[in-house]
Amino acid sequence: MSEMETPDPALLERQNRTLQKKLARAERKLETLEILQEQNANLMRALMADLDEERSESERLLLNILPPAIAQRLKTEPGVIADRFDSVSVMFSDIVGFTPLSETLSAQQMVKWLNEVYSVFDTLVRDHDVEKIRTIGDGYMVAAGVPFPRDDHAAALTRLALDMKAHFATLPPVSGRRVDFRIGINSGPVVGGVIGTHKFQYDIWGDTVNTAARMESHGVPGRIHISNATYELINHKFVCERRGSIEVKGKGKMQTWFVEQPSDSG
């Protein structure tokens, strides 16, 4: 066996320093990598939180314009939604003399006043568990029995109408004018659903809807005007005054009624 050469101490020292420097650089890179990983994790958590917030906001906005069940169906069944309902009630409410009233107020004042009135109506709609369909100018449309059928749809909508009437009675004059309303209700079959892809909303269609609109437009200020179809569903629960046979645009002669108040048995 040959003798082993004695290592050069200076060379070993240099190699050791070089190795220490490489280890130090590797540790710094590892620390940097760990910092970047933590920063990426924090960024990912922030992005996920923002995404959850955006998703929640989108969900809230969707539920603000669509019934929850319909919103859920749109997520899983993209396309047209159209369901037939054999028996529902539809109500239209309109402010009497809205055009001359609006001429006495600025646009901002008019919108503020309408918002105050319809915000109360929105609360009443929620309390009576019926479905607001839409507002058009000073018109307010509600239905009961959609998107889920219910046997008491006519009574539920009549109770809502009486509460709306009571609220109108508390409103102070606007620009010196007493504000009044007309409410019309009709009952029958409709088709309800969502069509289109832009600015869609839940809506209902059919002759029942058209007749409900006629009950409002042919009504009397300050009163709840109902068709005979609705009367047949609620007369055992509400006191109604017979208006008699009237000529209704597009419908001919119709027997109609005014709702006065709940009956003792209602």
- 203 tagged catalytic: no
Active-site residue identified among 52, 65, 70, 95: 95
3-state secondary structure 19-35: HHHHHHHHHHHHHHHHH
- 264 tagged catalytic: no
* Residue-by-residue DSSP string for 137-177: TTEEEEEES-SS--TTHHHHHHHHHHHHHHHHHHPPPBTTB
Active-site residue identified among 70, 133, 138, 224: 138
Q: Tokens at residue 88, please?
A: 């529902």
For residues 88 and 204, the answer to whether their CB atoms sit within 8 Å is: yes
Active-site residue identified among 94, 133, 183, 203: 94
Rounded CA separation 146/202 (Å): 10
Mapped onto helix, strand or coil, the DSSP state of residue 115 is helix
- Pick the closest to residue 88 from 132, 38, 146, 43 (CA basis): 146
- 81 tagged catalytic: no
For residues 147 and 69, the answer to whether their CB atoms sit within 8 Å is: yes
DSSP state of 202: -
For residues 230 and 186, the answer to whether their CB atoms sit within 8 Å is: yes
- Pick the closest to residue 264 from 243, 239, 232, 229 (CA basis): 239
**Cβ neighbours of 203 (radius 10 Å):** 18
Would you name the residues annotated as active-site residues?
94-95, 138
